[in-house]
């Protein structure tokens, strides 16, 4: 519930739309009701007073109940004000600041001053001129909200709800003052952010000022043409939507453009350059260039909208900060049916990457439309690659060749995908331009030294954050040379990273792995016509070749299928078929391990698609037994162990895992996270540095056939932990509640629907902030 601010008297200077809506929002929060304090008890009156040069606006504000009193003279209202909000036009701010400086000593001793102007450098300069310095109790701010309407009559108590307010405190601004201004805006339902003054003016010049300038210009251009009546008569909704902001207050926007001139001109320069590029493409009839621009813009628009709405698609960090998802899973259930899980994430990433670097057009079917894979698509769009889709798993990539990528305008965001970041590091190390790779909060905790160090040995220049963690700053234009690298730890991501860098390196790049890892990169490189050699535990390639576009049919992801394989394996009466699942020999550790545990799991309809073997996996329930997991199977099932731990908890005897220290550096420390969750359920286990012993129960040993209890699980934002404990509920005696589940969408969109379809009772809820 919104809490009214604790100020004794709030003075709003300027009772137009912005100031009037602030007063209305404060009233709606409960502020200013005489005889009550912010906690709901009785206390001194809290007032909202307003100053405006128009006496009629003051009278209207009082009549509407928005303010208690007002005056056209500032000095008549300052006395005992604890918070002063300057809500006047930007070019009027200098005069108001001088008037305020002359009478501010009449205000409360702890008075705080803030403003709502949309340009901050000019207002800071006005403050320094008026006060002789930047006061420590002045917190400059800007609510990102507005309307084409004006005046206090248009006041809207929800104008700021779910909108952003940017504060730009100085280094010496009193933090108590900043906190009080935050409380003011929080009472309106706004989201409060902080930014430095220069950055604010640059960002707003591009996202607010430039669009208004273009709308004014377009409408004015058309309105001055002879056929303007015909033009406007037949204007469609798109024209109305785009030009709506041209109805805004002309005087206000004149002032903004004058005050923020340099930043607006810089934004206009960038826009004019973009229009010139598009004009040249239209003149030449360059369809690929036009498609690249339109497609990049279309998907960027969806991306921006998802961030604004705090929905998925590269917005995990928003979910983590502003509302997490919780799973509530009822105990018991059956597992039956025939389903197809989404496409393989590892292959989806690689299909886009190699398709972009190939010459020609690559058609991809079965593409995983999860957030991580979509982030990879967007990253290549930002590097100038035209990509159509995805549309129901179909993507068309217009390749630009190994040397055709262009420098992105800013950092490349890869969401939660460690695979994407490590593979991108390799292919970007060979580019002529600098890049920065960043990701969500989870990814920025994961070590990247394991790829940065060997890439540096190849001649790349890469900067990382403390501890070798993201973001990665990759300096372009460095000559790469092939190396022979013995991986200290088996990792398909490291191997793939070095092979991709090897495409750009002089000579031969050889990678030796201590244990077999997934070979999707080698298979796909060969499918794109690039020669890759393999002998024993070593693979290698020579730089300087070329990739030729080829069709890709992405199999269903065996990692996603694993959750349902385990669900069926542990549930009495289960009978489930998972269709078209990839059974690459380097990925079938989960199949081998479940079969060793006694699972009734058969491969049917086996065949090959685009160089990758696939099959339908038919699994029926059968009693499982604990085993010592063969060390050779560990790298073949490294991502599947969270689900396999649930199988072990339902097996007779003890299951022992060793050589799995890699699990400690995934999206979470998966050994520790799973051990914590198992302890919550009451599953006996012993956690080791490189593995775990899990003591299962005999089928039906617990109450009503349950293998363990229920409880509250923290997934630590790790999608595989969340899904593993969701299927654990099938054999739980009580409900399992799992926190922080938003990232499930990164790897398995549609998990909830499929889980319900096969027989789980799973609800998705919003966690309290």
d(CA 238, CA 108) in angstroms, rounded, equals 51
Task: Return the HEC string of 54-71.
Answer: CHHHHHHHHHCCCCCEEE
Closest C-alpha among 445, 276, 283, 421 to residue 353: 421
As a whole number, mean pLDDT of residues 442-462 equals 92
- Token pair for residue 745? 């969408």
CB 415 within 8 A of CB 437: no
Proportion of the chain above pLDDT 90, given as a percent: 64
CB 62 within 8 A of CB 51: no
Confidence at residue 744, expressed as pLDDT on a 0 to 100 scale: 87
Range in 196-200, 247-251, 258-262, 325-329 with the lowest mean pLDDT = 247-251
| Domains assigned to the chain | 9-195 (3.40.50.720), 204-285 (1.10.3660.10), 325-339+558-766 (3.65.10.10), 348-553 (3.65.10.10)
Tens of pLDDT, residues 667-703: 789 999 999 999 999 999 999 999 999 999 765 554 4
Average pLDDT for the chain: 88
Q: Using pLDDT thresholds of 50, 70 and 90, give the confidence band for residue 358.
A: very high
pLDDT at residue 462 greater than cutoff 80: yes
Tens of pLDDT, residues 579-621: 999 999 989 999 999 999 999 999 999 998 877 899 999 999 9
Is 489 buried (19+), middle (13-18) or exposed (0-12) by CB count in 10 A?
middle
d(CA 641, CA 670) in angstroms, rounded, equals 9
Length of the chain, in residues: 769
The partner residues of 83 in beta bridges, in order of sequence, read 10, 112
Is 310 buried (19+), middle (13-18) or exposed (0-12) by CB count in 10 A?
middle
d(CA 40, CA 36) in angstroms, rounded, equals 6
Sheet containing 654-657: give its strands across.
654-657, 692-695, 685-687
Tens of pLDDT, residues 517-555: 889 999 999 999 999 999 999 999 999 999 999 999 999
Confidence at residue 228, expressed as pLDDT on a 0 to 100 scale: 63
3-state class (DSSP) for residue 231? helix
d(CA 550, CA 526) in angstroms, rounded, equals 10
Exposure of 303 in the CB half-sphere (CA atoms within 13 A): 20
Query: Can 639 be counted among the known catalytic residues?
Result: yes
The DSSP result for 468-517, as a single string, is: TEEEEEEE-SPPPB--EEE-SS--HHHHHHHHHHHTTSBSEEEEE-SS--
For residue 102, what is the enclosing H or E element?
helix 93-103
- Known binding-site residue numbers for 3-phosphoshikimate: 345-346, 350, 491, 493, 639, 666
- Known binding-site residue numbers: 345-346, 350, 418, 446, 491, 493, 639, 666, 670, 720
- Token pair for residue 38? 């912010």
pLDDT at residue 354 greater than cutoff 90: yes
For residue 211, what is the enclosing H or E element?
helix 210-223
Confidence at residue 251, expressed as pLDDT on a 0 to 100 scale: 76
Closest C-alpha among 166, 568, 7, 57 to residue 339: 568
**What is Dmax (Cα atoms) for the chain?**
88
Backbone angles phi, psi at 489, to 5 degrees: -140, 135
The partner residues of 539 in beta bridges, in order of sequence, read 511, 534
Q: Using pLDDT thresholds of 50, 70 and 90, give the confidence band for residue 34.
A: very low
d(CA 295, CA 298) in angstroms, rounded, equals 5
Tens of pLDDT, residues 119-169: 899 999 999 999 999 999 999 999 988 776 778 998 999 999 988 999 999
The partner residues of 685 in beta bridges, in order of sequence, read 694
d(CA 663, CA 672) in angstroms, rounded, equals 9
d(CA 228, CA 70) in angstroms, rounded, equals 45
CB 719 within 8 A of CB 748: yes
d(CA 250, CA 628) in angstroms, rounded, equals 75
Is 101 buried (19+), middle (13-18) or exposed (0-12) by CB count in 10 A?
middle
Sheet containing 412-413: give its strands across.
412-413, 435-438, 469-475, 461-465
Buried b (16+ CB within 10 A) or exposed e, 193-222: eebebeebbbbbbbebbbebbbbbeebeee
Other Cβ atoms within 10 Å of 433 Cβ, number: 14
Range in 2-11, 38-47, 269-278 with the lowest mean pLDDT = 38-47
Q: Which residues, 6 or more positions from 158, have their beta carbon under 8 angstroms from its beta carbon?
A: 25, 28, 189
pLDDT at residue 414 greater than cutoff 90: no
For residue 203, what is the enclosing H or E element?
helix 197-204
Say which residue the tokens 């601004």 belong to.
Answer: 173
d(CA 735, CA 732) in angstroms, rounded, equals 7
Q: Using pLDDT thresholds of 50, 70 and 90, give the confidence band for residue 41.
A: very low
Sheet containing 600-609: give its strands across.
336-339, 575-582, 612-620, 600-609
Is 596 buried (19+), middle (13-18) or exposed (0-12) by CB count in 10 A?
middle
- Known binding-site residue numbers for phosphoenolpyruvate: 345, 418, 446, 493, 670, 720
d(CA 464, CA 668) in angstroms, rounded, equals 20
Closest C-alpha among 720, 684, 419 to residue 566: 720
Tens of pLDDT, residues 539-548: 999 999 999 9
The DSSP result for 650-706, as a single string, is: TSBSEEEE-S-GGGGGSSS-HHHHHHHHHHHHT--EEE-SS-EEEE---TT-SGGG-
d(CA 210, CA 157) in angstroms, rounded, equals 27
- Choice among 639, 714, 718, 740 that is catalytic: 639
């Amino acid at each position: 519930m919104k809490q009214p601010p604790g100020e004794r008297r709030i003075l709003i200077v300027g009772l137009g739309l912005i100031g009037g809506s602030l007063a209305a929002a404060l009233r709606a929060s409960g502020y200013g009701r005489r005889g009550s304090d912010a906690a709901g008890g009785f206390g001194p009156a809290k007032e909202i007073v307003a100053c405006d040069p128009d006496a009629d606006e003051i009278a209207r504000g009082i009549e509407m109940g928005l303010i208690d009193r007002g005056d056209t003279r500032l000095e008549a209202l300052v006395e005992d004000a604890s918070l002063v909000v300057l809500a006047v036009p930007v070019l009027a701010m200098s005069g108001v600041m001088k008037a305020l400086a002359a009478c501010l000593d009449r205000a409360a001793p702890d008075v705080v001053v803030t403003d709502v102007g949309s340009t901050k450098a000019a207002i800071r300069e006005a403050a320094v001129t008026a006060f002789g310095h930047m006061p420590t109790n002045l917190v400059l701010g800007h609510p990102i909200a507005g309307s084409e309407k004006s005046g206090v009559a248009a006041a809207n108590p929800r104008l700021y709800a779910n909108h952003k307010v940017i504060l730009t405190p100085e280094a010496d601004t009193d933090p108590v003052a900043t906190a009080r201004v935050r409380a003011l805006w929080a009472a309106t339902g706004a989201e409060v952010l902080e930014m430095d003054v220069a950055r604010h003016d640059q960002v707003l010049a591009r996202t607010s000022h430039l669009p208004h300038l273009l709308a004014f210009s377009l409408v004015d251009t058309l309105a001055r043409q002879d056929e303007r009546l015909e033009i406007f008569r037949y204007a469609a909704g798109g024209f109305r939507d785009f030009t709506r902001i041209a109805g805004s207050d002309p005087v206000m926007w004149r002032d903004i453009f004058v005050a923020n001139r340099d930043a607006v001109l810089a934004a206009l320069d960038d826009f004019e350059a973009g229009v010139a590029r598009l004009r040249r493409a239209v003149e030449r009839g360059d369809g690929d260039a036009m498609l690249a621009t339109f497609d990049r813009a279309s998907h960027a628009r969806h991306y921006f909208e998802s961030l604004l709405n705090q929905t998925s698609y590269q917005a995990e960090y928003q979910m983590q900060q502003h509302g997490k998802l919780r799973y509530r899973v009822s105990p018991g259930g059956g597992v039956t049916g025939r389903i197809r899980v989404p496409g393989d994430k590892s292959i989806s990433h690689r299909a886009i990457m190699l398709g972009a670097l190939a010459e020609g057009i690559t058609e991809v079917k079965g593409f995983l439309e999860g957030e991580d894979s979509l982030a990879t698509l967007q990253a290549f769009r930002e590097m100038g690659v035209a990509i159509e889709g995805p549309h129901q798993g179909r993507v068309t990539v217009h390749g630009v060749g190994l040397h055709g990528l262009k420098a992105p305008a800013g950092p490349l965001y890869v969401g939660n995908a460690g695979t994407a970041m490590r593979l991108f590091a390799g292919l970007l190390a060979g580019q002529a331009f600098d890049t920065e790779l960043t990701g969500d909060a989870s990814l920025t905790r994961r070590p990247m030294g394991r790829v940065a160090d060997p890439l540096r040995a190849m001649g790349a220049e890469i900067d990382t954050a403390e501890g070798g963690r993201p973001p990665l700053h990759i300096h372009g234009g460095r000559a790469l040379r092939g190396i022979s690298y013995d991986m200290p730890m088996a990792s398909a991501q490291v191997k793939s990273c070095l092979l991709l860098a090897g495409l750009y390196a002089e000579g031969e790049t050889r990678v030796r792995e201590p244990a077999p890892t997934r070979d999707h990169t080698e298979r796909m490189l060969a499918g794109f016509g690039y020669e890759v050699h393999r002998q024993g535990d070593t693979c290698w390639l020579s730089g300087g070749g070329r990739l030729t576009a080829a069709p890709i049919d992405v199999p269903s992801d065996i990692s996603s299928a694993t959750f349902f394989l385990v669900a069926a394996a542990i549930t009495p009466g289960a009978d489930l078929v998972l269709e078209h699942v990839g059974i690459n020999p380097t990925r079938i550790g989960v199949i081998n391990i479940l079969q060793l545990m006694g699972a009734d799991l058969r491969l049917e309809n086996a065949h090959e698609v685009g160089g990758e073997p696939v099959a339908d996996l038919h699994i029926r329930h059968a009693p499982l037994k604990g085993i010592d997991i063969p060390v050779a199977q560990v790298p073949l099932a490294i991502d599947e162990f969270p689900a396999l731990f649930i199988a072990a908890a339902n097996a007779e005897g003890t299951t022992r895992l060793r050589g799995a220290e890699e699990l400690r550096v995934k999206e979470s420390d998966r050994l520790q996270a799973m051990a914590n969750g198992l302890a919550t359920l009451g599953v006996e286990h012993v956690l080791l540095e490189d593995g775990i012993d899990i003591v299962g129960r005999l089928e039906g040993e617990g109450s009503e056939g349950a293998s363990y209890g229920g409880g509250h699980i923290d997934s630590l934002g790790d999608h595989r932990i969340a899904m593993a404990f969701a299927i654990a509920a099938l054999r739980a005696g009580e409900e399992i509640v799992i926190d922080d589940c938003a990232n499930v969408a990164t790897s398995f969109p549609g998990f909830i629907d499929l889980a319900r379809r096969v027989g789980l009772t799973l609800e998705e809820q919003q966690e309290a902030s």
